Amino acid sequence: MSSLTIPPSTPLYDDEPPSPEEGPPSPRNIIEPDSDLSDNGHETGSCDTSTKSVRESIFNFIKENGRTYHAYQAGSYLFPNDPPELERLDLQFEILKVLFGGRNHFAPLENPRKILDIGTGTGKWAVQMAKKFPNAEVTGTDLSPIQPMYYPANCKFIIDDAAEPDWMIRPSSLDYVHTRVLLGAFTDFREIIKKAYHSLRPGGYLESQEMYSMLFCDDGTMPPNYPLLVWQRRQDGAAMDAGRPMRIANKLKRWYEQAGFVDVKEEMFKLPINSWPKDPQFKMLGRFSEQNLLDGLQGFSLAWFSRVLRWTKDEIEVDLVNVRKAISDRSVHAYLKIYVVWGRKPYPNEVPRQS
């Protein structure tokens, strides 16, 4: 199935400042909890000239349980695409930007000419990369036409399904492929890695910034029956039943190496679920993380629990009451792991070095 290019609007650059190439060092690996359980002290022009028209059907979003979902390849992505979710995605982007020390990428890019962003969502990452690398052509693909109306001239957005066999990209033509938080989006993420390898030129990089879908706690304050943990187990079971696994982040490095990438690197970051840490930066990140989870919880739940587990909307909403309370419980020092993995496609005759 051919991809569909989103028609542009009037050329205009937004006023976001370009992202810095390098940020401060990664946050410390051990997070100290705050003994105070209260939470006081809150701190363009489109480059697309294609004559293809976008079929109206892709804008006829699926309506279900008061939320909307993508129409193109309907049912293959079980998270919503409505305005509340778009706001949450933008918040999530900013959270990860701070967590990563201001970086949008970790791969050592040098004057890339062709960049592909798989699952671009609201397109913020693609727009910022287009500004940082004005000589590059940045393409963002997604199942939903939810990208901005205005963007730099060297950026474009295409409706396409990365799960399809043909990416409609010339082999060995890309300099950099990027994926971010695509847990549960594919039946086998190894196929995405293989197609990226095929599409990259020798010396090009693939990078994945992925959230591991289970909670962690280092000090024993998270009980086994913690409602958010129970909810995660249910969602994970639904994802496995649907054949779209979520626990992929900790496997990416191995999968990269198995696909043939070399110089594969991995960094892991801890993201607190609320403002329980004592450290000011982690407390701030936790506060926004809490908001992100609260804003997204219904959208994270409805399709998975209703379509796969066959729960009613009322049953889901009743269950989420205690989950929301748990998210804001600062006596539980829980966090999520965010993995960043990047690797290089070897040059001809280069011997891969397995770690």
CA 244 to chain centre: 15
Q: For the purposes of burial, counting CB atoms within 10 Å of the CB of 293, is it exposed (0-12), middle (13-18) or buried (19 or more)?
A: buried
Confidence (pLDDT) at 235? 97
CB atoms within 10 A of CB 49: 8
Is domain 4-23+44-217+246-271+337-344 annotated with CATH 3.40.50.150? yes
Instruction: Decide: helix, strand or coil at residue 114.
Output: strand
Confidence (pLDDT) at 350? 83
Say yes or no to pLDDT of 238 above 90: yes
Cα(330)–Cα(349) distance, rounded to whole angstroms? 54
Pick the more confident residue, 274 or 18: 274
Q: Mean pLDDT, to the nearest integer, of 80-106? A: 97
CA distances for 22 relative to 96, 101, 113, 207, 343, angstroms: 14, 8, 20, 16, 18
Confidence (pLDDT) at 40? 60
Confidence (pLDDT) at 28? 43
Name the percent of the chain lying above pLDDT 90. Answer: 79
Q: Mean pLDDT, to the nearest integer, of 83-110? A: 98
pLDDT tens profile 283-329: 999 999 999 999 999 999 999 999 999 999 999 999 999 999 999 99
Residues sharing a CB contact under 8 Å with residue 92, sequence separation 6 or more, in sequence order: 181, 292, 296
pLDDT tens profile 174-223: 999 999 999 999 999 999 999 999 999 999 999 999 999 999 999 999 99
Confidence (pLDDT) at 39? 66
Q: Mean pLDDT, to the nearest integer, of 136-148? A: 96
Q: Mean pLDDT, to the nearest integer, of 245-272? A: 98
215 contacts 335 by C-beta, under 8 angstroms: yes
Confidence (pLDDT) at 4? 62
- The dihedral built from the CA positions of residue 246, 250, 252 and 257, taken in this order, carries a sign that is negative
CB atoms within 10 A of CB 19: 18
**Which two tokens mark 58?**
């892709």
Cα(248)–Cα(112) distance, rounded to whole angstroms? 27
Helix segments in 200-279, DSSP class H? 227-241, 252-259
pLDDT band, very low/low/confident/very high, at 37 (cuts 50, 70, 90): confident
Instruction: Decide: helix, strand or coil at residue 200.
Output: strand
Give me the residue spans of the domains in the chain: 4-23+44-217+246-271+337-344
Pick the range with the lowest mean pLDDT from 44-53, 71-80, 81-90, 339-348.
44-53
Cα(80)–Cα(27) distance, rounded to whole angstroms? 31
CB atoms within 10 A of CB 241: 11
DSSP state of 152: -
Over the chain, what is the mean pLDDT?
A: 89
Confidence (pLDDT) at 30? 64
CA 47 to chain centre: 25
295 contacts 84 by C-beta, under 8 angstroms: yes
pTM equals: 0.86
Confidence (pLDDT) at 26? 42
Q: What distance, in Å, lies between the first and last C-alpha atoms of the chain? A: 38
Say yes or no to pLDDT of 348 above 80: yes
332 contacts 221 by C-beta, under 8 angstroms: yes
Confidence (pLDDT) at 59? 87
Pick the more confident residue, 166 or 187: 187
Angle at 224 between CA 223 and CA 225, to 5 degrees: 90
177 contacts 345 by C-beta, under 8 angstroms: no
Residues sharing a CB contact under 8 Å with residue 182, sequence separation 6 or more, in sequence order: 118, 119, 189, 192, 208, 210
Confidence (pLDDT) at 38? 66
pLDDT band, very low/low/confident/very high, at 3 (cuts 50, 70, 90): low
Under the phi-then-psi rule, with left for phi > 0, alpha for psi from -120 to 50, and beta for the rest, what region is 350?
beta
Q: Residue written as tokens 């060297």?
A: 154
Strands (E), the chain: 4-5, 62-64, 67-69, 114-118, 137-142, 155-159, 174-180, 200-211, 216-217, 262-272, 334-344
Confidence (pLDDT) at 250? 98
Say yes or no to pLDDT of 279 above 90: yes
pLDDT tens profile 7-34: 554 333 344 444 434 344 444 456 778 7
